[in-house]
Amino acid sequence: MSPEKVQKLAEQYTPMTAENLSRIIRIPSYSGEEERVIRELEHLCRTLEFDEVRIDGLGSLIARIGSGQKKLVIDAHIDTVGVGDRSQWKEDPFSGSIRDGLVYGRGASDQKGGAAAMLTAGRILKDLDYRGQYSVYFTFTVLEEDCDGMCWKYLIEEEKFIPDYFVSTEPTSCRLYRGHRGRMEMEVHIKGVSAHGSAPERGVNAAYKAARAALALEQLNEGLQPDEDRFLGKGTIVVSQLKAFGPSQCAVPDVASLYIDRRLTWGETKELAIQQVKDALKGLAEEVVVPYYAKPGWKKTPYGQELYFPTWKLPLDHPLVQGGIRTYQRLFNSEPLVDKWTFSTNGTAVCGRYRIPTIGFGPGDEAQAHAPNEVTRVKDLQMASAFYAYLPYALEQIHG
């Protein structure tokens, strides 16, 4: 297939891509509240004549083009974080405004822009009457912002839907990504002994123990080391919450807790990270636990997982990475910048947990994620649409 033909179609459909992004931005879709936007995307997929359209047991939308034996999955999560302080937004965060080559609103980059580009890529493949080696699946997944990868844990373990190759459309500024650090959450539980506030020496102040624990973890963060090839960089640990409680406001607090965000570089495991925290706290903590996520999604299906998300990366010479490079070269007549995300994606499950080869290519900038006045570039939408549509052809060229 000629890359010029794919490019021409992506350009032709650019206004549609931007308008579809605007449509789904205008539908708020916080984690667990995605039904309205899923239904809208379902309607759009049917209107664009996808070969198969269904909703899985957890609430994600699965749409297919082609009927090849191999499964190429292109994925966008369609839930978003909240808007935060609305006074920091220059306009309605759900306006979906399109002007000056930009689309505005919550989710524009993170990551409904990827979803809009996927819709157009499916339309392009239909126009080209794609009949290649792949069944190209476009997945619009839920609950990522709350628990990245759990939607794919459900698909793989419960529905036995196992991709051969996986593409995340999280924002990469139209660069090609091949990994990111993992992450986990931890709770540190601390105990003291309460006493009347007028005689604090009679008690053991859990708040003070928590403060010393937080400073110890600050020191632990400074000592963490990068991965051997320095591709993913160093792991990090940060205390994101500190709480202390006692019998009253006039009492020495007898319980405290720290909530921890830990980013894991290559070679760092859940067990290692927990032991590092225990060693750093030197008896200050009663226990260190990894919380379990069990918030129901919009379909109310009971499901959950531990808040641990493994690190992943794919070698530069892997056929999927090379397929992405070839796609970029053929479409855009230049070399892609091959890099990694700073944040975490559904790749933690697909590649980190299940070792399914994964790359990333998405419209918009990572720095726009969770920020006020979020935007994405219309030009990025066009590039991403072309990339997703041409990738199966490029992979077939590599595999012969």
- Model confidence over 341-390: pLDDT tens digits? 999 999 999 999 999 999 999 999 999 999 999 999 999 999 999 999 99
Confidence of residue 398 (pLDDT cuts 50, 70, 90): confident
Nearest to 141 by CA among 164, 123, 120, 159: 159
Catalytic residues: 79, 144
Nearest to 267 by CA among 151, 148, 167, 179: 179
pLDDT at 136 over 70: yes
**Which fold does the domain 3-181+311-399 belong to in CATH?**
Aminopeptidase (3.40.630)
pLDDT at 400 over 70: no
pLDDT at 225 over 80: yes
Confidence of residue 283 (pLDDT cuts 50, 70, 90): confident
Residue 281 CA to residue 214 CA, distance in Å, equals 9
- The mean pLDDT of the chain is 97
In degrees and rounded to multiples of 5, residue 62 shows phi and psi of -120, 120
pLDDT at 238 over 80: yes
pLDDT at 109 over 80: yes
The single-letter code of the amino acid at 145 is E
Model pTM? Answer: 0.95
Residue 308 CA to residue 184 CA, distance in Å, equals 4
Confidence of residue 215 (pLDDT cuts 50, 70, 90): very high
The single-letter code of the amino acid at 294 is A
**SS3 sequence, 202-219?**
HCECHHHHHHHHHHHHHH
Element (H, E) at 135: strand 134-141
DSSP symbols for 82-138 = ----GGG-SS-TT---EETTEEESTTTTTTHHHHHHHHHHHHHHHHTT--SSEEEEE
Which tokens go with 223? 């000592």
Say how far residue 341 (Cα) sits from the centre of its chain: 10
Q: Could you report the per-residue pLDDT of 48-93, keeping only the tens digit for each?
A: 999 999 999 999 999 999 999 999 999 999 999 999 999 999 999 9
Residue 213 CA to residue 282 CA, distance in Å, equals 9
Task: Report the pLDDT averaged over residues 301-327.
Answer: 97
Q: Which residues pair with 204 in a beta bridge?
A: 193
Q: List Cβ neighbours of 400 (8 Å cut-off, separation of 6 or more).
A: none
Q: How many CB atoms neighbour CB 154 within 10 A?
A: 25
Q: Report the percentage of the chain scoring pLDDT > 90.
A: 98
One of 3.40.50.720, 3.30.70.360, 3.30.200.20, 3.30.70.1110 is the CATH number of 182-293, namely 3.30.70.360
pLDDT at 211: 97
CA dihedral 116→119→123→128, nearest 10 degrees, is 100
Q: Could you report the per-residue pLDDT of 190-202, keeping only the tens digit for each?
A: 999 999 999 999 9
What residue spans define the domains of the chain?
3-181+311-399, 182-293
Interaxial angle between packed helices 112-127 and 35-47, expressed in degrees from 0 to 180 and rounded to the nearest 10: 20
Element (H, E) at 17: helix 14-25
Higher pLDDT, 108 or 283: 108
What three-state secondary structure class fits 350?
A: helix
C-beta separation of 301 from 284 below 8 A: no
Residue 303 CA to residue 140 CA, distance in Å, equals 18
The single-letter code of the amino acid at 301 is T
C-beta separation of 120 from 10 below 8 A: yes
Residue 271 CA to residue 288 CA, distance in Å, equals 11
Which tokens go with 328? 């970029």
Q: Which of 134-143, 301-310, 391-400 has the lowest mean pLDDT?
A: 391-400
Confidence of residue 1 (pLDDT cuts 50, 70, 90): confident
Nearest to 231 by CA among 191, 266, 205, 273: 266
Residues shown for the chain: 400
Task: Report the pLDDT averaged over residues 294-301.
Answer: 94
